[in-house]
DNA sequence: GATATTATGTCAGTACTATTGACGTAATTT
DNA sequence: AAATTACGTCAATAGTACTGACATAATATC
């Protein structure tokens, strides 16, 4: 079972290797744009939750406003993301991907998706669900609310919170 | 299914959240030592594969010699890791954890292991195997050799390659 | 034995991602 | 009117990573 001292080193290590290679695919694409992983994360969530505010984005990414600033500015300057004044609260800036931003987000997600499909190749729907449950259970319980991802909550094209 | 444009955004995002929280536990402990995630990774692999050489470590971590230098030096200076001259090739430096290093490695792994166990709480052995297979399949095929982790190859306390 | 090559260490310079703290502005709430 | 909120920005710093260059000792090769 490879458990020494009651510690599950096997999955700890597998998780490290899996994530290392999972992020290596988009990293290569990002390099062509002069972007880094931070840009990817921001673009991903803006694409996935169009209209989310700066504060919401900070909460999801668990970084500070100052860390986000440079990255977001670059994405805006390169026309991947646009800011719109919040309709209810004009202090808020709602973030939306441009067509260019959506295209890049898609290009970055494609190799990752391919890798996932390959890993689940001869797995059935039940096994897929199991992997999803495992990953979700690895997230801090109080933060699972952030994952509306593919749950019943969200059936249309838009997310729930604006 | 939450698949837009044929892209599996659900698992992509879950993987991000899961890894973010998975690394957050040891991060807090590391802060007390003035260490970062890089120290954790080095200490983990030195602990797991005692006697591995600097070159092997660089290959596993996929970083450069210069990046490793500072981190490894700090771990040696703080008596968490020792270097021994290679017995066959005296140019090589074999890396071993000290008792102090093993204790820290264990302390860092404990919350991660707890998180994994909790996530697999009501899963049987078959489901556990499935998760392991999925994570392993996410790793680049040519790099799977690095994972001796818990496979049949390694049954004793030592690793295979020295 | 002279000459590669290898394993490691180190120096200098740079980049990216992140941090904390402080301050400013506009909009909303009390 | 005053406090709070949402956001932006400036300055300073840290951790992790990079490339390139050079040095040393040990091993391998011709």
DSSP per-residue letters across B55-81: HHHHHHHT--HHHHHHHHHHHHHTTSE
Tell which phi-psi region holds residue B89, choosing left (phi > 0), alpha (psi between -120 and 50) or beta. Answer: beta
**Nearest C-alpha of chain A: how many angstroms from B12?**
7
* Angstrom distance, B57 CA to C1 C1': 35
What per-residue confidence (pLDDT) applies to A146?
A: 75
Residue A35: partners with Cβ closer than 8 Å, 6 or more residues away? A74
Exposure letters B98-136 (e unless 16+ CB within 10 A, then b): beebbebbbebbbebbebbeebbeebeeebbebbbbbbb
Q: Evaluate whether B7 touches B92 at the Cβ level (below 8 Å).
A: no
What per-residue confidence (pLDDT) applies to B31?
A: 86
Which residue's entry shows tokens 């392991």? Answer: B132
Distance CA B3, CA A116 (A): 12
Q: Which of B36, B89, B107, B33 is nearest to B67 (CA)?
A: B36
> Is A13 in contact with B62 (Cβ distance < 8 A)?
no
Q: Which of A123, A143, A149 sits opposite B10 (nearest CB)?
A: A149
Exposed, middle or buried: residue B2 (CB in 10 Å: 0-12, 13-18, 19+)?
A: middle
Confidence check: pLDDT of B6 > 90: no
- What nucleotide is nearest B67 when CA is compared to C1'? D17
Looking at domain B22-119, its CATH architecture is Orthogonal Bundle (1.10)
| Percent of residues, chain B, with pLDDT higher than 90 | 58
What per-residue confidence (pLDDT) applies to A47?
A: 94
- Helix (H) or strand (E) run with residue A4 in it: strand A3-4
Q: Compare all CA atoms of chain B with the CA of A148 and give the residue at the minimum distance.
A: B10
Confidence check: pLDDT of A137 > 50: yes
Which band of pLDDT confidence, cut at 50, 70 and 90, is reported for residue A159? very low
What per-residue confidence (pLDDT) applies to B154?
A: 37
What per-residue confidence (pLDDT) applies to B4?
A: 60
What per-residue confidence (pLDDT) applies to B2?
A: 52
Q: Which of B10, B62, B143 sits opposite A132 (nearest CB)?
A: B10
**Which nucleotides in chain D lie closer than 7 A to a protein CB?**
5-12, 15-21, 25-28
* Mean pLDDT for chain B overall: 85
Cβ neighbour number for residue B144 with a 10 Å cutoff: 14
Residue A105: partners with Cβ closer than 8 Å, 6 or more residues away? A43, A44, A46, A47, A97
* Angstrom distance, A39 CA to D10 C1': 22
Which band of pLDDT confidence, cut at 50, 70 and 90, is reported for residue A32? confident
* Angstrom distance, B70 CA to C12 C1': 15
Structure-block tokens of residue B71: 């981190």
* Angstrom distance, A53 CA to D7 C1': 10
- What nucleotide is nearest A53 when CA is compared to C1'? D6
Which band of pLDDT confidence, cut at 50, 70 and 90, is reported for residue B126? confident
Confidence check: pLDDT of B150 > 80: no
- Which residues, listed in sequence order, are joined to residue A4 by a DSSP beta bridge? A7
Q: What are phi and psi of A74, to 5 degrees?
A: -65, -40
Distance CA A31, CA B105 (A): 34
Arithmetic mean of pLDDT, A57-74: 91
Which band of pLDDT confidence, cut at 50, 70 and 90, is reported for residue A148? low
Distance CA A102, CA B99 (A): 51
Which band of pLDDT confidence, cut at 50, 70 and 90, is reported for residue B132? very high
Q: Which of B21, B41, B120 sits opposite A139 (nearest CB)?
A: B21
Q: What is the pLDDT of residues B31-89, one digit of tens each?
A: 888 888 899 999 999 999 999 999 999 999 989 999 899 899 999 999 999 999 988 89
Mean pLDDT lowest among A122-126, A154-158, B20-24: A154-158
**Nearest C-alpha of chain B: how many angstroms from A77?**
26
Which B residues 102-141 have CB within 7 Å of strand C?
none
CATH for A3-140, among 1.10.10.10, 2.40.50.100, 1.10.3760.10, 1.10.540.10? 1.10.10.10
Confidence check: pLDDT of B152 > 60: no
> Is A8 in contact with B117 (Cβ distance < 8 A)?
yes
What per-residue confidence (pLDDT) applies to B155?
A: 34
- What nucleotide is nearest B52 when CA is compared to C1'? C7
Q: Evaluate whether B134 touches A22 at the Cβ level (below 8 Å).
A: no
Q: What is the pLDDT of residues A79-123, one digit of tens each?
A: 999 999 988 899 999 999 999 999 999 999 999 999 999 999 877
Which band of pLDDT confidence, cut at 50, 70 and 90, is reported for residue A160? very low
Distance CA A28, CA A123 (A): 28
Q: Where are the domains of chain B?
A: 22-119
């Amino acid at each position: 079972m490879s458990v020494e001292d009651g510690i599950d080193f096997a999955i700890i290590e597998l998780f490290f290797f899996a994530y290392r290679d999972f992020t290596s695919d988009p990293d290569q694409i990002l390099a062509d744009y002069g972007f880094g992983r931070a840009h990817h994360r921001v673009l991903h969530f803006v694409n996935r939750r169009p209209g989310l505010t700066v504060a919401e984005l900070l909460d999801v990414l668990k970084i500070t406003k100052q860390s986000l600033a440079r990255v977001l500015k670059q994405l805006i300057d390169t026309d991947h993301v646009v800011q719109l004044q919040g309709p209810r609260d004009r202090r808020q800036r709602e973030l939306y991907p441009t067509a260019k931003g959506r295209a890049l987000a898609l290009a970055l997600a494609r190799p990752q998706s391919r890798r996932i499909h390959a890993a689940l190749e001869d797995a059935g729907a039940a096994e897929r669900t199991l992997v999803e449950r495992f990953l979700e259970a690895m997230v801090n319980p109080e933060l699972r609310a952030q994952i509306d991802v593919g749950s019943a909550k969200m059936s249309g094209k838009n997310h729930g919170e604006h």
